[in-house]
Amino acid sequence: MPADWLSITHYPSPLGPLTVVTGPGGLCRLAFPGEEPGATRSYLAQKFPGATINVDENGSSCREVLRQLDEYFDGRRFSFSLRLDLRGTPFQLIVWSALQKIPYGTTCSYSHIARLTGRPGAVRAVGQAIGRNPVGIIIPCHRVIGKDGRLVGFGGGLATKKWLLNFEEGNLKTNQTSTGR
């Protein structure tokens, strides 16, 4: 395939079908069920102008992504090791990198992420960058909560955020109990 191609497939997660988009540079989009119709294609047109978009019915273009998602939802994967093709501003890339440092099964505040970026006063900008995370779950923006502990802001919806946090917390407890920790 030429360098300007993208493949879309759907992953049947416990949350509903996730839209997975990969290209030559790696995973570039993971969208939650219930996303606005056309939002993924609009995102791809903006970030990957001129790319040919193919529907990959059997997921052959993203086998590794699907395998790691299977392991995550089976409770056997606590972090992802995928090639990512992220298109964002330098600040967004810094924020997305900081999000990847949040341990599985834990949460932190937006102000904590702002401190990790070296810009402790940029809490709102951090929130905006988190809101533009193109690969939720893989870059775990669901682990960021309000300073007061409330669940706030999540592109997949607060019910999905709550499900992911409960899933990780319960899975972590189960694994700690079974390993005697």
Give the C-alpha separation, 38 to 42, whole Å: 6
Interatomic CA distance for residues 177 and 140, integer angstroms = 24
d(Cα 2, Cα 6) in Å, to the nearest integer? 10
Alpha carbon distance 139, 94 (integer Å): 12
Beta strands in the chain (DSSP E): 5-13, 16-23, 26-31, 52-55, 108-109, 144-145
Residues carrying an active site annotation: 141
